[in-house]
Each structure stands twice: as structure tokens, then as C-alpha cells.
Structure 1
Amino acid sequence: MRRVLAQGVKELAQFRRDRLTVALAFVLPLLTLLIFGYAIRLEAKNIPITIQDFDNTPLSRSYIERLYATNQFEPTPNGEDVGKAIDRGRATAGIIIPPNFSQQVMAGRGSSVQVLIDGTDVNNARVIQNSIQAVTRFFVQTSGLQTTPPRITPRTRIWFNPGRQESLYIVPGTCAVILWIYPSLLAAIAMVREKELGTIVQVYASSLSAVELLLGKALAYVLVGLCEAVAVVGLSMMLFGLRFAGDPTPFLLATPLFIAVATFFGLMIGTRASNQNAAVQAVATIGFLTAFLLSGFIYPLSNIPFPLSAVSNVVPARYYIPIIRDAFVRGTGWVGVWSHGFALVL
């Protein structure tokens, strides 16, 4: 045990002397947090939409105002041909209000409004379609145009995040990705550097065993990873307003375990890589892509097709992200995340 501690102290001393490694450990994670936290947005906003109003009555103008009142759409010059505006990329959607629109509606015969949507981005097209349909239903109800009351009226209440702040979803997941990538990257580089500089020969000549060498390095970079966790979570609280929503115990216990898993993953890569470039590429390819795409960070796990869905079962970030999101958003504690913690231990 003393030799493991001595090896860990030696690794920390080398870490402090290398300014580039210190920057990699603390500056890049914070930059990653800022980029991901502010750049990733899942909600579609400021969608350019063009409207041709051939009716030009108070009712049609009121309908147009209701569309823009959602703050989800932004107008393009009205009167421009809808088809040409979409073809040239100046609008993502277009609405054509026919002549006699107001007359037909007020007479109780109803009127159709043509909606054209650019389907290049399927998800965005679905959002636009649902938004326009919802606005139209709301306009009909609030304008007194609905002759009979709806038979079923849903009363919706959003739990855990009633303000629908995207940062409460994105930022905890970003912290998980950061705490997976950078500790593993540091450990992999440290292991490869021993071979590149030839200092691994001194280890072979000493009485230090391979297990003690790996445990010493792991101890050092787990401590570095914990410092990264404090810095990243602290900055998240200051900039994005994260607060513990309930019992933080699962998060506090799972974080050191998750960082330890990331560190040993990096050491495994480092023992196999022949140089630092290969180690960085391996961590970026295997570690980052799986943590980003197969962990539920952005895309729901239920959307991942087989066999990639089977691969996601061995991605540790898949089990840590629900724990950290529960700590800062849901607040259910052990009741909601005990299975993820158990899977992380395994």
C-alpha cells in the first residue's frame, strides 16, 4: 500500500510540473462545459416562416399575429411566394391563407389553410407541424369560433422542470461526458508517456509490480478527476443555476466511482497504445463517441437501434447521466436511481 501511495504522489508531482497537462485537465473541461452548455439547444426557435395572406381581413391578420406571438417563428417578408421562399432557403415553412377565409369561417363552413414545411430536417419539420396545429386550435378556441366545447380538455402539468429550462437537461449530461473523457484521457497519456520517455524501464527494474503501478496512477488521476468534478459542477452552478433538487447522496457516491471507471478505462487504452496520438484517438473514438451518442445524453436510449442498443449497455455514462440528472433536476434520490448505481458498480 505504501508503494501505491508513493507512486500516486510521484504521478501528482509530475502532473503539477507539466503545465500543458494541467491545462488539459482544467481549462479544456471548463471550455467544453461552456460550449456544450450554451451551444446545444434542442428546442427549435426563431424559425423563419413566410405567410401569404390573400384574405387580408381582421380575422386573418389576427391569426397571423397569434402565430408570431409564440416567439417560435420569425417573419420573412410577407407577400413573397411561399414555394420560392422555401426553395431558396429563406423560409423553413410557409402558410397560405386563401381568399374568403374570414367569410367562410364566420359562415360556419370552415376554411383550409395551406401549410408548406421544409422536410429536410425531419425533427424540425415535426416541431413546426405540431406548433402550427396547436396555435390554430388555440386561435379557434379563443376567438369564439368553436361552436361546441371540446369533450376532453387535458390539464397538463410539467414536473421537475416546469420552466422547461433546457440547461437543466443539457448541463448535467455535459458534466457526465466531461468527467468521462478527461480523466480517461489524462490517464491514457500518462501511461503512454512512460513508454515514450523510457521511464517504464525503471519500473521494470524496481520492485514495483504492474498492479501497484496501475493503482498508483489510478489513485493520482482519480484525485485529479475529483478536482475536475468540483470545478465543473461549481461552474455549472454559477453560470447555469444548477442546484441540488433532493438527496445528493447518490450523486456524491457515484461520482468518485464513475471517475475511477473512466481512469481505469484510460489506463487500459494507455497500456495498448504505442504513442500519445494513438491514445488520444482511441479515447476520442471509443470514449467520447459512446459517451456522447450511446448514453442518453442527447438522444433517448429507446431510439437507438439494435445492435448499437446492446453496445450502450456497457457504456458507463449511460448509468451516471440519470444519477446526475436526478440530483439536479428530479430529486427522487435512491428510489429513482438505485438500479443505475448498481449497474455502475458492476
Structure 2
Amino acid sequence: MKRFIGFIKKEFYHIFRDRRSLFILFGMPIAQIMLFGFAITNEINNVNIAILDHSKDETTKEIIHKIASSKYFTITASILNETEIETAFKKGHVKAVLIFEKDFSKNLGKENNATVQVIADATDPNTANTISNYVSAILQNYQQQINVAVKTSYQIIPKTRMVFNPELKSVFMFVPGVMTIILMLVSAMMTSISITREKELGTMEILLVSPLKPFQVIIGKVVPYIFLSIINAIVIVLLGIFVFNMPVQGSYFLLAAESVLFIITSLSLGILISTISASQQTAMMISLMALMLPTILLSGFIFPVSSMPLPLQIISNIVPAKWFIIILKGIMLKGVGIQFIWKSTLILVGMTLFFIGLSVKKYKIRLE
């Protein structure tokens, strides 16, 4: 029995001395419960909306103030006419536009009813539906407040219109998201084991004494996977179009170019993981745990980033998948051009250069 107890103690000592084991045992559960607890929610918070007020009377000002004072919405713009609505949606600045009809207060007093039109960006159908319901609830609450002091009940009628996905098909949200996840995980995982495989097979010494420069080795590792991932992307897009009737409103050439950019970003991230990993198993674990959860939870694929706590919103900015999903939805559903997605494109270019540069630097360190 003493030997058995001693053996158990030895195992505890081994676990406590191994920082990676402690991280897996205690760090990952904490990180996962924090991410899932804060990121997974069907509620909305601080969603950016715009107002088009044709009436500009006291009643509409009260309603707008009531909406702005709620935690659910942030009024970021006042639109002057209908022609600005589409531009606001394509820029991605707002998720909904509220339009108050002309003579709103007069119509409410004479006809006992007035209309508020809610135009929602349905590229994310769940969020669009929730926005519509929350606006209706706020209008109903205001209606109940003003009806207390009058004999004849006033009725404020919300009329909802969904744009870019009027039928609220969830597949329009899932195809861009799934495409992003597949390209990110497959590309990163394939490349993350490339250099570590050389170490385990003992062929790294050949590369170390070869005349190839570090950047040539890195690029040489990436190029074959670029072509394989492009084939993967083409298959996903074709399945989305012909099987799920996914529209592509924008340029096919721009879609292809942005997809190649994201593939290169993912592959460069995989190369970075491979240069800092000692074994294929370590590289695979980092790829799965460090990429899968952030890609699914913090990219805005399923859950709106604006509803997450501020720290998670900040962290989401370093997740490449977030910017690619914005690009995909813009091109496929909104039909936007490069003038609306240049910012996201530049961010991906910057990330790619950073990952490749850091990979080359890490590779140089191993050469010394």
C-alpha cells in the first residue's frame, strides 16, 4: 500500500511540474466557461441603429430618447433621406434603421395610430428578428404610458422590413460562417504540423544546412497548401450556390481574391504555430484550442459581437475570421465593392504580414 501511495504522489509531482498539463487541466476549463458564458447569448446589447425622422415632433423625440436610453440600442446616425439607408447598411455601420412617418404626432392624435418602419439588416437573421422584437416591445411600452392619460387608446404600429435576406433563411448566415471556419481550421492545422513534422522525421537538419533562406522555407511550406485550400474554397462556394441557393450579389473576382487573402492569412498563422511548437501533437492542440473557440465564438458567426462584454469585443478584433465574415457577407449578400470592405481587407493583409514576419523571425532563432 505504501508503494502504491508513493506511486500516486509521484504522478501528482509529475503533473504539477508539467506546466502544459496544469494549463490543460485548469486553464482551458476556465477559459471555455468564460467564453461560453459571456459570448453565447440570444440577447442584444448596444446594437448600432440609425434614425430617419420625417416628423421631428415632440412625440418622435420622446420615442427616440426612450430607445436611446435602453441598453439594447445605440443611435449612431441620423439619416436625412431614404437614399442613405442602403449606403449605411453596406458600410456595416448600423444593423437597423427606424423610420418615423411624416406628421407622426398629428396622425396619432387624429387617427389614433401612427407608423414606425423598422428596416433590419437580415444578413444575420437571428439578430434582425431580435432587433425587430425589441423595438416593438419599446414602442408598446411607450404606447402603454401615453394611453394612461387619454380616453381613446393610441396605437403605434411597427412595420418591419428585412433587407438582404427577406425570407430570413438561416443558411445565408451559415454558409459564410462555415466557409470561414473550414478555411481557418483546415488551412492552419495543415500548415501547423509542416515544420514540426520535419523535426520529428529528422529532416530539419537538411533544411538547416541547405542554401535556402528562412523566408524561402516558409513560403515553400505555404504555397502547396494555398492551392489545396483554394480548391476547398471553390467546392464550398459551389455547394452554397447550387445546393443551398446562396446568392452572390457582388463580384466573383473580388470574392475569389478575398478568399485567397484569407487562405494566405490562415496558412501564415499555421506556419507561425508550427515554428513555435516542438511536436506535431503540440501544434495540433494549439491549432484546435487556440483557433476553434475564438473562430466560432468571437467572429460574429453565430453570436453578435456587439452584445458581448467590451473585453471580448476588443479581443475579437484580432480574430481574422471576424473580418473575413464581414467581407463574405458584404460581397455575397449585400453586393458591395472594395470601397466598402477595404478596411477589413487591409486588416487581413496586416495580419498576414505580421504572421509571416514573426514566423521568419522564429525560424531564424532556431537557426542560431
Q: TM-score, normalised by structure 2?
A: 0.52
SS in structure 2 at match of 1:158: strand
Offset of residue 307 of structure 1: 2.2
Greater share of strand: 2
User: What are the equivalent positions in structure 2 for 1:110-129 lying under 5 Å apart?
Assistant: none
CA contact (8 A) 2:250 2:337 kept: yes
Q: Which residue of 2 aligns with 1:272?
A: 276
Equivalent in the alignment of 1:168:
172
Matches within 5 A, 1:168-317: 168-317=172-321
Give the superposition deviation at 1:260: 0.6
How far is the alpha carbon of 1:242 from its aligned partner? Answer: 1.2
The offset of 1:309, in angstroms, is 2.0
Aligned pairs for 1:152-167 (under 5 A) are 152-167=156-171
Distance in 1 (alpha carbons) for counterparts of 2:298 and 2:345: 18
Give 1:150 shift: 5.2
Looking at structure 1, the residues matched to 234 and 337 of structure 2 have their Cα atoms a distance apart, in angstroms, of 20
- Please give the secondary structure, in 1, of the residue aligned with 2:157: coil
Distance 1:274 1:155 in 2: 59
Aligned pair in 2 of structure 1 residues 157, 149: CA closer, same or farther (>3 Å)? farther
Preserved contact between residue 291 and residue 317 of structure 1 (Cα < 8 Å): yes
Structure 1 residue 319 corresponds to structure 2 residue 338: no
Instruction: For residue 283 of structure 2, give the secondary structure of its aligned residue in structure 1.
Output: helix
Aligned-residue offset at 1:249? 4.1
Unaligned runs of 5+ residues in structure 2 are 1-41, 43-125, 141-150, 351-368
CA deviation profile, 1:65-121 (whole Å, cap 9, x unmatched): xxxxxxxxxxxxxxxxxxxxxxxxxxxxxxxxxxxxxxxxxxxxxxxxxxxxxxxxx
Measured in 2, the distance between the counterparts of 1:250 and 1:342 equals 14
- Aligned identity (percent) is 32
- C-alpha distance after superposition, 1:220-249 (max 9, x if no partner): 111111111111222222321112112344
**Separation of aligned partners in 2, 1:307 and 1:153:** 37
1:329 matches 2:333: yes
Could you list the per-position Cα deviations for residues 190-227 of structure 1 after superposition, in whole angstroms to 9, with x for gaps in the alignment? Answer: 22111110111111122112221111111111111111
User: Residues of 2 paired with 1:306 and 1:246: CA distance?
Assistant: 32
Aligned positions of 1:40-51 closer than 5 A: none
* Contact 2:295-2:319 within 8 A present in 1 as well: yes
Q: CA RMSD in A?
A: 2.7
Distance 1:322 1:217 in 2: 28
Question: What stretches of structure 1 of length at least 5 have no aligned partner?
Answer: 1-41, 43-122, 138-146
Deviation at 1:149, TM superposition (A): 7.6
CA 235–151 in structure 1, closer or farther in 2 if over 3 Å, else same: same
1:241 counterpart SS class? coil
Tell me how far apart the structure 1 counterparts of residues 330 and 167 of structure 2 sit (CA, whole Å).
17
Task: Name the CA distance, whole Å, in 1 between partners of 2:335 and 2:171.
Answer: 16
8 Å CA contact 1:295, 1:317 repeated in 2:
yes
Amino acid at match of 1:316: P
Structure 1 letter corresponding to 2:216: E
Q: Matched residues in 2 for 1:153 and 1:166: separation?
A: 27
- Give the stretch that moved more between structures: 230-239 or 219-228: 230-239
Larger-Rg structure: 1
| CA contact 2:265–2:349 (8 Å) conserved in 1 | no
Q: 1:158 to 1:149 in 2, by over 3 A?
A: farther
Q: Counterparts of 2:345 and 2:254 in 1: how far apart (Å)?
A: 7
Shift of 1:178: 1.0
